[in-house]
């Protein structure tokens, strides 16, 4: 029986690996057909997923020209099992003409629209997707306290936030989770781990496979559609990067062999075994990969294994990767 993880101050329990649902609508090519996506998401619950990540900004254009709203897919898929699952969504990008907008009146509109698209009357975890430079986080946190009191959200969090920003937010309304990029290629938030631990904030690791490259299943020469698939411009998927990352791939694959696991599982197990409050949310639209990722929770790495990987990563030269410049 897999031990659950806790979403920080909220006390909400989830399985150690969550499902990133963005790719069903956004960033990785043409969205998945609605009925297929609903089946896949529902099926993932049977595999053990109970924590689902979406956002109002996860939108794509279907092959027939209609819009794929990720929250609608997730909401419809989880409707029959709503009380058994934890749904996280985000505001602050996508609702207005302003690129980043966390004004109270915009959040109020966003929350109503997200509830509608998700077909639910509460959101378990509501994140500010990105900082709005014109709206102090204290004001945003004030709105979060009201939404919690009103029962519209159970808990809240921040995405791409550092410890200082987190402390300001937490002083007004207790933050439960931070959703930041984290993978063997992107470890820049490790410096903030002591603060997150001190404040009892769970770290939800997004892009934990560095957008898939750490699985070892991608090779130089692969083509991605430049109109719909962000991998076409991601530095780690450029042909020359595969060579630059050979040492990294070797590190992961040799540990995978030693532990009788796959590269994806080692990439996830490394962070799962590092801290009991890290919850990776890999995204996949393929059932066999969802299962593979979910089963990373069964891969045991000792603290020596984790340290060995960290010290190898500290010295390693790698290619650039998407989001590698840190908070943005």
Ligand X SMILES: NC(=O)c1ccc[n+]([C@@H]2O[C@H](COP(=O)([O-])OP(=O)(O)OC[C@H]3O[C@@H](n4cnc5c(N)ncnc54)[C@H](OP(=O)(O)O)[C@@H]3O)[C@@H](O)[C@H]2O)c1
The residues annotated with a catalytic role in the active site are: 58
What CA–CA distance (Å, rounded) separates 185 from 248?
9
Nearer to ligand X, 53 or 71 (CB): 53
Residue 25 binds ligand X, judged by CB under 6 A: no
In the bound state, the residue with its beta carbon closest to ligand X is: 20
Question: Applying CB under 6 A, what is the total number of residues that bind ligand X?
Answer: 28
Residue 53 binds ligand X, judged by CB under 6 A: yes
Nearer to ligand X, 146 or 193 (CB): 193
What CA–CA distance (Å, rounded) separates 138 from 258?
48
Nearer to ligand X, 150 or 217 (CB): 217
Per DSSP (E only), the strands in the chain are 5-7, 12-14, 19-20, 51-53, 59-61, 67-69, 86-91, 123-128, 153-159, 177-181, 202-206, 278-280
Choices 15-23, 77-85, 96-104, 220-228 (CB under 6 A): range interacting with ligand X: 15-23
Nearer to ligand X, 68 or 264 (CB): 264
Q: Is 29 left (phi over 0), alpha (psi -120 to 50) or beta?
A: left
Residue 206 binds ligand X, judged by CB under 6 A: yes
Residue 92 binds ligand X, judged by CB under 6 A: no
What CA–CA distance (Å, rounded) separates 109 from 111?
6
Residue 56 binds ligand X, judged by CB under 6 A: no
Choices 204-212, 220-228, 236-244, 245-253 (CB under 6 A): range interacting with ligand X: 204-212
Residue 21 binds ligand X, judged by CB under 6 A: yes
Which of the 8 DSSP states describes residue 99? Answer: S
What three-state secondary structure class fits 115?
helix
Choices 33-41, 59-67, 185-193, 201-209 (CB under 6 A): range interacting with ligand X: 201-209
Closest contact distance (angstroms) between CB of 268 and ligand X is 9
Choices 112-120, 143-151, 206-214, 312-320 (CB under 6 A): range interacting with ligand X: 206-214
Residue 49 binds ligand X, judged by CB under 6 A: no
What three-state secondary structure class fits 121?
coil
Residue 208 binds ligand X, judged by CB under 6 A: yes
Nearer to ligand X, 68 or 159 (CB): 159
Closest contact distance (angstroms) between CB of 227 and ligand X is 16
Biggest alpha carbon distance in the chain? 54
Binding mask 230-269 for ligand X (x = CB under 6 A): ----------------------------------x-----
Residue 60 CA, distance from chain mean position: 18
- Residue 131: name the closest of 88, 167, 170, 91 by CA: 91
What CA–CA distance (Å, rounded) separates 265 from 260?
10
What CA–CA distance (Å, rounded) separates 275 from 252?
19
* Angle formed at CA 288 by CA 87 and CA 74, multiple of 5 degrees: 20
Nearer to ligand X, 59 or 146 (CB): 59
The binder of ligand X chosen from 207, 236, 245, 294 (CB under 6 A)? 207
Measure Cα distances from 305 to 62, 120, 144, 194, 318 in Å.
Answer: 43, 42, 40, 21, 20
Residue 286 binds ligand X, judged by CB under 6 A: yes
The binder of ligand X chosen from 190, 217, 247, 307 (CB under 6 A)? 217
> What is the binding site for ligand X (CB under 6 A)?
20-23, 28, 53, 159-160, 179, 206-212, 215, 217, 264, 281-286, 289, 292-293
């Amino acid at each position: 029986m897999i031990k659950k993880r806790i979403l920080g101050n909220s006390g909400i329990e989830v399985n150690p690996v969550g499902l990133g649902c963005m790719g069903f609508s956004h960033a990785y090519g043409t969205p998945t057909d609605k009925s297929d996506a609903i089946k896949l998401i529902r099926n993932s619950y049977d595999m053990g997923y109970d924590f689902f990540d979406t956002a109002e900004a996860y939108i794509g254009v279907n092959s027939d020209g209609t819009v794929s709203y990720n929250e609608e897919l997730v909401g419809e898929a989880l409707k029959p099992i709503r009380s058994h699952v934890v749904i996280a969504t985000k505001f602050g990008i996508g609702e207005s003409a302003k690129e980043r907008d966390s004004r109270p009146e915009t959040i109020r509109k966003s929350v109503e629209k997200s509830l509608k698209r998700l077909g639910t009357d509460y959101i378990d975890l509501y994140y500010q997707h990105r900082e709005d430079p014109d709206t102090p986080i204290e004001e945003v946190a004030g709105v979060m306290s009201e939404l919690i009191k009103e029962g519209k959200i159970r808990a809240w969090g921040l995405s791409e936030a550092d410890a200082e920003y987190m402390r300001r937010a937490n002083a007004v309304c207790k933050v439960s989770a931070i959703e930041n990029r984290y993978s063997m290629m992107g470890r820049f938030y490790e410096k903030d781990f002591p603060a997150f631990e001190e404040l009892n904030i769970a770290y939800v690791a997004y892009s934990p496979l560095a957008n898939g490259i750490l699985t070892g299943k991608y090779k130089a020469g692969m083509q991605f559609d430049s109109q719909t698939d962000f991998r076409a411009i991601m530095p780690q998927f450029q042909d020359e990067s595969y060579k630059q990352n050979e040492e990294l791939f070797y590190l992961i694959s040799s540990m995978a062999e030693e532990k009788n696991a796959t590269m994806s599982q080692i990439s996830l197990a490394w962070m799962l075994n590092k801290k009991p409050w890290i919850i990776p949310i890999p995204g996949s639209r393929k059932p066999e990969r969802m299962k593979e990722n979910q089963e990373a929770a069964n891969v045991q790495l000792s603290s020596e294994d984790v340290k060995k990987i960290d010290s190898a990563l500290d010295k390693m030269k790698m290619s650039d990767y998407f989001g590698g410049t840190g908070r943005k």
